[in-house]
């Protein structure tokens, strides 16, 4: 948009010789400083203002149209135009300075928010205990990392435990809930021997958060996973979340199981969550994702076909590692949708050293 002032001047110069003399098209230059204030800094706007006044004088005293002569340079209405342009220029300088201050403030705010999100969603290590891992996060808020999706993985005495979740809402409003959920998870995975007990601790955390913010509709969908290297199996507790996907020996399938209500909605049903188990062998990859991935739409409104895309990529090839799956989805998703309007979190896990 920095070309806008130049385009404005070009339009005035083009119209001036094409219009009748009584039509003082050069008066349009009064708006030039404000136009420049949208894209240029205060010093540049001041220079544009001086240039606009000079150009008004040149046009006023140039016989480019019938009846125009040098004496019109100092006519009252032209002098009024010079004064008006100068006053508008002063306003433009003030607007440009204010815009730059606001831009710096936004940059600082975004930097702080992204630093906070990086602290909450720490980079996924290549290996956690006996599990290889890789992760991806994309915020639905354009130009920022702040969002309402979350993931984490921890090595504990009970095995490697991971979580992926989606807080109701997105952006800064969801960050507080994300912090509470991750804090509860990181503490509970080391204290609780049973994965369902971890889920109950997180349920209480969401209920406390809902009470603090006075939001009776606050909830979090989440899937918790525990890997048992000795038994070569994963235990899953699914609280209304997208089903995990297993890539195993060229096959891709969703690991369906008994779901539970999202975290924070236990008051609607007194049943405890049910854990279910699936075997995981050497070369298998377990994929956890949020609905921002599977609900991404193309130009026709069709959802992203996650299982079909994974089959097309990994069905006939060698066993992938978690980073291969993440890299593929990171490049394939933009081919399906031009813009991601919801937060996307993806976590890929695989047994280390062949299980």
Which distant-in-sequence residues (6+ apart) come within 8 Å of 187 by Cβ? 201
CA dihedral 177, 178, 181, 182 (to 10 degrees): -150
What angle is formed at CA 161 by the lines to CA 325 and CA 295, rounded to 5 degrees?
A: 45
Chain centroid offset of residue 25 CA: 45
pLDDT of residue 210: 85
Axis crossing angle, helix 42-60 with helix 4-15, rounded to the nearest 10:
10
Q: Name every residue whose Cβ is closer than 8 Å to that of residue 12 and which is 6 or more positions away in sequence.
A: 25, 26, 28, 29, 55
Judged against a pLDDT cut of 80, whether residue 58 lies above it is answered with no
What are the sequence ranges of the domains in the chain?
Answer: 4-113, 121-354
**Residues of the chain above pLDDT 90, percent:** 44
**Residue 25: how many CB atoms within 10 A of its CB?**
18
CA 285 from chain center: how many Å?
26
Helix axes 322-336, 306-314, angle to 10 degrees: 120
Q: Is pLDDT above 90 for 172? A: no
pLDDT above 70 coverage of the chain, percent: 88
d(CA 224, CA 185): 10
Residue 161 token pair: 């435990």
- The three-state secondary structure class of 6 is helix
Region 55-59 average pLDDT? 79
Pairing type for strands 159-167 and 149-156 reads: antiparallel
Instruction: Look at residue 227 in the predicted model and tell me its pLDDT.
Output: 94
Poorest-confidence range of 50-54, 117-121, 184-188? 117-121
Where residue 148 falls among pLDDT bands split at 50, 70, 90? confident
Is 253:199 a contact under the CB 8 Å cutoff?
no
Compute CA distances 107 → 57, 86, 94, 111, 219, whole Å.
41, 31, 20, 6, 31
More confident residue, 12 or 249: 249
* Better-scored residue on pLDDT, 73 or 38: 38
Q: For position 78, what pLDDT does the model report?
A: 73
> For residue 66, what pLDDT band results from cuts at 50, 70 and 90?
very low
DSSP state, residue 224: E
| pLDDT over threshold 70, residue 250 | yes
Residue 65 burial class via C-beta count within 10 angstroms: exposed 0-12, middle 13-18, buried 19 and up: middle
Mean per-residue pLDDT for 250-258? 90
CB-neighbour burial class of residue 212 (10 A; exposed 0-12, middle 13-18, buried 19+):
exposed
Structure letter (DSSP) for residue 60: H
The hierarchical CATH code for the domain 121-354 is 3.60.40.10
Q: For position 286, what pLDDT does the model report? A: 97
| Residues 5-41: tens digit of each pLDDT | 788 888 877 777 666 666 667 788 888 888 898 889 9
Output Rg (C-alpha) for the chain, integer angstroms.
Answer: 30
Average pLDDT value for residue range 52-70: 66
Arithmetic mean of pLDDT, 204-214: 86
Helices 42-60 & 76-120 angle (0-180, nearest 10): 160
Q: Is the pLDDT of residue 67 over 50?
A: no
Q: What is the pLDDT of residues 296-349, one digit of tens each?
A: 998 888 999 999 999 999 987 788 999 999 999 999 999 998 777 788 999 999
Q: Please, what is the Cα angle at 351 between 345 and 352, to 5 degrees?
A: 110
pLDDT higher at 325 or 141: 325
Beta-strand runs (E) in the chain: 127-128, 131-138, 149-156, 159-167, 220-228, 233-239, 245-248, 251-254, 275-279, 285-289, 344-351
Mean pLDDT lowest for which of 12-16, 69-73, 105-109, 318-322?
69-73
Lowest mean pLDDT among 114-118, 155-159, 278-282, 334-338: 114-118
**Of 91-95, 102-106, 120-124, 269-273, where does the model show the most confidence?**
91-95
The arithmetic mean of pLDDT across residues 116-124, rounded, is: 80
The token pair at 229 is: 């290297």
The dihedral sign for the CA sequence 34, 36, 42, 48: negative
Confidence band for 129, pLDDT divided at 50, 70 and 90: very high
- Pick the most confident of 4-18, 142-156, 279-293: 279-293
Phi/psi-derived region of residue 238, left when phi > 0, alpha when psi is between -120 and 50, beta in every other case = beta
> Are the C-beta atoms of 25 and 12 separated by less than 8 Å?
yes
Q: Which residues have a Cβ under 8 Å from the Cβ of 327 and sit 6 or more positions away? A: none
């Amino acid at each position: 948009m920095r070309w806008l002032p130049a385009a404005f001047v070009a339009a005035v110069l083009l119209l001036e010789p094409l219009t009748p003399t009584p039509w003082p098209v050069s008066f349009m230059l009064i708006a030039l400083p404000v136009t420049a204030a949208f894209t240029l800094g205060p010093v540049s706007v001041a220079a544009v203002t001086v240039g606009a006044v000079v150009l008004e004088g040149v046009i006023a005293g140039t016989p480019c149209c019938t009846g125009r002569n040098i004496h019109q340079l100092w006519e009252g209405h032209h002098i009024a135009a010079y004064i008006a342009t100068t006053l508008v220029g002063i306003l433009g300088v003030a607007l440009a300075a204010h815009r730059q201050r606001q831009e710096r403030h936004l940059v600082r705010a975004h930097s702080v928010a992204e630093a906070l999100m990086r602290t909450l969603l720490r980079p996924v290590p290549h290996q956690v205990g006996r599990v290889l891992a890789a992760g991806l996060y994309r915020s639905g808020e354009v130009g920022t990392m702040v969002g309402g999706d979350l993931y984490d993985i921890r090595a504990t005495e009970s095995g490697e435990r991971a979580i992926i979740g989606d807080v109701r809402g997105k952006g800064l409003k969801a960050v507080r809930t994300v912090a509470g959920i991750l804090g509860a998870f990181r503490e509970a995975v080391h204290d609780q021997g049973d994965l369902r007990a971890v889920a109950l601790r997180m349920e209480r955390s969401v209920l406390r958060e809902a009470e603090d913010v006075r939001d009776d509709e606050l909830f979090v969908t989440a899937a918790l996973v525990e890997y048992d290297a000795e038994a070569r199996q994963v235990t899953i507790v699914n609280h209304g979340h997208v089903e995990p996907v297993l890539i195993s020996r060229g096959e891709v399938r969703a690991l369906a199981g008994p779901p539970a209500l999202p975290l924070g909605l236990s008051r609607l049903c007194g049943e405890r969550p049910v854990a279910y188990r699936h075997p995981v062998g050497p070369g298998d990859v377990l994929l956890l994702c949020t609905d921002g991935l599977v609900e991404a739409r193309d130009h026709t409104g069709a959802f992203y076909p996650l299982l079909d895309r994974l089959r097309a990529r990994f069905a006939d090839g060698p066993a992938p590692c978690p980073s291969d799956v993440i890299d593929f989805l990171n490049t394939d998703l933009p081919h399906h949708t031009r813009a991601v309007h919801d937060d996307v979190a993806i976590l890929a896990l695989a047994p280390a050293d062949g299980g």
